């Protein structure tokens, strides 16, 4: 009878230590990325998605350029006046196309690269030979762009445009 009592105590102690060890092991080494699925080439780090270039959102599900796409009202007092511009998606998740940057008689379709909050026009020459360079920022459904256009006769002007929806 004493032997059964000692066996029961030993078994209870063994099971208690085993349960304690499992709890301790799982609490010290949790897999924070176990249930996290990151889209578009994103990688889980510490339970959060680290998105590939051109994507954003909690799970990298949104192309960065998406927020720029749409019809915008443009105020450009120094150059083009007030006009409408349609921004469409380019061929990559980081490119956008302005349908009429500058409100020229012959529309300037200008390609820019865009990420979460900034855009860059990098030496883009449109179909008429005008060269555009510049940069801008996105904030709360508004885009501010400063760009320089160089004409075929090598004259240029710098313009600032505010886009709003």
Q: How many domains would you assign to the chain?
A: 2
Q: What is the pTM of this model?
A: 0.76
pLDDT at residue 101, rounded to an integer? 96
**Do 42 and 123 fall into the same domain?**
no
How does 5-20 read in b/e, with b if 16+ C-beta sit within 10 Å?
A: eeeeeeeeeeeeeeee
pLDDT at residue 24, rounded to an integer? 46
**Do 145 and 83 fall into the same domain?**
yes
**Do 133 and 103 fall into the same domain?**
yes
Cβ 143 vs Cβ 137: under 8 Å: yes
* Sign of the alpha-carbon dihedral angle for 93, 70, 137, 150: positive
Query: 104: which 2 tokens?
Result: 């020229």
**Do 52 and 103 fall into the same domain?**
no
Full DSSP string of 46-70: TTEEEPPTTEESTTS-EEGGGGG-E
**Do 81 and 151 fall into the same domain?**
yes
**Do 152 and 93 fall into the same domain?**
yes
Query: 114: which 2 tokens?
Result: 């865009």
**Do 150 and 70 fall into the same domain?**
yes
**Do 73 and 50 fall into the same domain?**
no
Provide the domain limits for residue 71. 64-164
**Do 22 and 46 fall into the same domain?**
yes
pLDDT at residue 98, rounded to an integer? 96
Query: 99: which 2 tokens?
Result: 């349908």
Q: How do beta strands 48-50 and 118-125 pair?
A: unpaired
List of the chain residues with pLDDT < 70: 1-29
**Do 37 and 118 fall into the same domain?**
no
């Amino acid at each position: 009878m004493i032997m059964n009592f000692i066996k029961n105590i030993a078994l209870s102690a063994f099971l208690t230590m085993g349960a304690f060890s499992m709890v301790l092991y799982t609490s010290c080494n949790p897999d924070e990325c176990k249930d996290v699925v990151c889209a578009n080439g994103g990688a889980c780090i510490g339970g959060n998605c680290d998105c590939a270039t051109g994507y954003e959102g909690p799970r990298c599900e949104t192309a960065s350029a998406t927020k720029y796409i749409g019809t915008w009202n443009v105020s450009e007092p120094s150059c083009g006046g007030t006009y409408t511009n349609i921004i469409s998606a380019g061929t990559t998740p980081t490119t956008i196309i302005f349908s009429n940057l500058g409100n020229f008689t012959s529309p300037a379709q200008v390609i820019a690269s865009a990420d979460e909050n900034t855009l860059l026009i990098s030496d883009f020459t449109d179909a008429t030979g005008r060269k555009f360079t510049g940069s801008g920022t996105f904030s709360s459904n508004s885009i501010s762009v400063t760009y320089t256009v160089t004409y075929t006769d090598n004259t240029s002007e710098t313009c600032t445009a505010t886009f709003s929806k």
